[in-house]
Amino acid sequence: MAILPIISFLVLVAVFYRRIEEGIPLWRTSFVAAALVWGALVAASTELLSLIHGITFLNLSIFWVLSICVAVYSLFYPQGQRRVLRWGKMESLRLSEWILILSVGLIGGLVVVMAWDTPPNNWDSMTYHMARVAHWVQNQSIEFYPTNIERQLWKATWAESAILHFQILGHGDRMANLIQIFSMIATVLAVTLIVQELGAGILAQILGAVITVTIPVGILEACSTQNDYVVAFWACCLAYFVLLARRRWNLFYFMGVALSAGLAILTKESGYIIVLPFLFWLGVEIARKYQWKKTVAILCSILMVIFVLNSLHYMRNEHLYQQAIAPQSAHMEMNNTSWTLRLVAFNAVGNLSLHMVTPWKTLNEPIARGLSDLLTWIKGQPIDIKITNPLHEDNSGNLLHLVLIGICMGIYIRSNKKQGINAYAAVILLLPVLFILCLNWNRYYARIHLPIFVLYVPFMAVILTMQRQRIIVFAVSFILIAASLAWVFFNESRPLIGQKNIFYTPRKEQYFSNNPGYIFSYTSAVKEIQEKGCSQIGLILSEDTWEYPLWSIAKEDVRFEHVSVNNVSGHLNYPLGEFSPCAIIHGDTRAPMLIAINGKPFIKAHQYAILSSYLRFDFVPVELQQEIMRAALGRGQR
């Protein structure tokens, strides 16, 4: 039944193709518009079914069948002028252009293989992306629950909501990575639309596709359950519909802008920074054509759609944290609270340093030392930069693309042919400035720069093809494609070749690709507890402890809940009602031999390398009970 959402999307593409106006690329625009409506359907169905604890296989199946029926009806009725479904005329392309297109398809195809053949194994996926999905499946709701890992609660929800639908309908996480890989493919199409709307031809569009698909962080992330490529896609949709709205304002463009902005924010908190300059640009463009009252009305309507899409998530956060977007502690950790020249300089250089990464460790070592010295000098306190695992999604950067952006900026400044892209260039120039001003530097933030790099791609494609020297286009394309192969084939989490490649490594082992030493502790702890006949397992974990592997190992009839929760979520009720664990999995191996949960004693049954397992006293064999009692009496007599 996991095919139902996909069928719904494909029918929506056909619906838009038959109904959107002439003068814009029909199939690609229909694809983007269908994705926006599909995204809104995912968000609305998840939130509404959650209110009645109705996120179940049956209800989701019914929802998607109904959505397909409505889409099919609107495809053929009501009667009127409807465009016949057919492929448009293919532009005649040169052999060299076909080679570039095939190269894009090859890279994309290999990433799809990685996404399909590997389970979620990214660190954040293990702690909160997939762990929150597992709780939602169990609770049949996205209602907040007690947890030691608060990011499972307050973080934006759209990407995980989409995974949730496939997780339930597909009875597992086989399709979990496909949300990101779909976003990568869709982003390539959206970039070509932006390039065309900026006035460039087919060669620039092909170059835009090449630059997009070769972004190293994008390649590594696209086959994971992170959400930065999803944000990048919504951002490209927003840019495209803002460009269309410059021509003529209508309901189709309005909904495109509003849904793009709302879904970007509902996917990740960085969406606010990306959406803001585009909405400002739109406001300026509308104000040039209409009176200020109509401009205000249009912008307020867009903001209303954004708020409606995010409102229930805001309400949950507000109820628990008295903050609509994130708890105060997260605000303090992520956001700048003051602006000084030293801080701005440190953030600027620090963010650039994240992309000074090459696939060669011998080059990375001197680069890291130089960056450490520079950042230490700027901030006035020791900063230690370590470039480890350069082919890993958490540590990689986009060095070649950063250099290309600099070159294109230089060409743009010196060029006289600026008229068509001035406004777009101004908006994308604002994005890194806003990131530097708003967010504290973090050594793992290269991945959240992905939407910025993607939004720079249309600008680069237009600038490079303006030179009217095809050799430049093909030279740039060849360098980027050749360089990208390192990240395609040697992805450290999902290698296509080598001894630990994804085709020969069992799926259960691939959950632990980033920490192979964890597999024995996790599998042994769950197996030991289930062999005792225990089906209610409490979790005592830290904020950054892996949780999802426990769900992937355990059988479906096991209930996991966090216990001994010491943060603000600890006072919440469990969505499934009373919870009485018969075993505990503890993330601290130094925990004492005896612990009490809800007034009931639990005895440490086994201590593994990174976990400890506890059994409730009545689940412990009599011999072990007697041994523990004798040890306790002996300590009491001394």
Q: What's the pLDDT score for residue 625?
A: 64
- Taking alpha carbons only, the member of 63, 64, 46 closest to residue 55 is 46
Share of the chain above pLDDT 70, in %: 94
For residues 561-583, give the mean pLDDT. Answer: 94
Neighbouring residues of 313: CB distance < 8 A, sequence distance ≥ 6: 47, 156, 157, 266
Task: Give the model's pLDDT for residue 637.
Answer: 42
DSSP codes of every residue in 164-208: HHHHHHTTSSTTTTHHHHHHHHHHHHHHHHHHHHTT--HHHHHHH
Which of 484, 420, 478, 473 lies closest to 195 in space, CA to CA?
A: 420
At which residue do the structure tokens 């997939």 appear? 130
Per DSSP, the three-state class of 400 is helix
d(CA 364, CA 356): 8
pLDDT in tens, 8-66: 999 999 999 888 877 788 899 999 999 999 999 999 999 999 999 999 999 999 999 99
pLDDT recorded at residue 166: 97
pLDDT attached to residue 219: 96
If DSSP codes are grouped into helix, strand and coil, which group holds residue 50? Answer: helix
* Cβ proximity of 481 and 210 under 8 Å: yes
Return d(Cα 263, Cα 233) in angstroms, integer: 10
State mean pLDDT over 68-72.
95
289 close to 450: Cβ distance less than 8 angstroms? no
φ, ψ dihedrals at 54, nearest 5° = -115, 20
State residue 628's pLDDT score.
64
pTM of the full predicted structure?
0.94
Other C-beta atoms closer than 10 Å to the C-beta of 126 total: 25
Cα–Cα dist 287/408, whole Å: 30
State the pLDDT at residue 23.
77
End-to-end CA distance of the chain: 65
DSSP-derived letter for residue 531 is H
pLDDT over 90 at 131, yes or no: yes
- Summarize pLDDT for 481-510 with one digit per residue, the tens: 999 999 999 999 999 998 889 999 999 999
Burial class (CB in 10 A: 0-12, 13-18, 19+), 74: middle
Residue 634 pLDDT grade (very low, low, confident, very high; cuts 50, 70, 90): low
**pLDDT, tens digit, for every residue of 404-462?**
999 999 999 887 766 678 999 999 999 999 999 998 888 888 899 999 999 999 999 99
Contact 107, 213 (CB under 8 A): yes
Spatial neighbors of 163 by CB under 8 A, at least 6 apart, are 129, 130, 133, 173, 175, 176, 179, 225
Give 593 or 317, the one with higher predicted confidence: 317
Inform me whether the pLDDT recorded for 134 exceeds 50: yes
- For 80-86, what is the mean pLDDT? 59
Residue 526 has pLDDT above 70, yes or no: yes
Per-chain mean pLDDT for the chain: 90
Q: Sheet containing 536-540: give its strands across.
A: 559-562, 536-540, 583-586, 612-616, 600-607, 594-597
Query: Taking CA 571 as the corner, what is the angle to CA 570 and CA 572, rounded to the nearest 5 degrees?
Result: 95
Quote the pLDDT of residue 636.
42
What is the average pLDDT across 274-303?
90
What integer pLDDT is reported at residue 629 of this predicted model? 62
Residues 6+ apart with CB under 8 A from 339: 437
pLDDT at 265: 97
Q: Are strands 612-616 and 559-562 parallel, antiparallel or unpaired?
A: unpaired
What is the residue whose two structure tokens read 């869709």? 186
Residue 584: which H helix or E strand, with range? strand 583-586
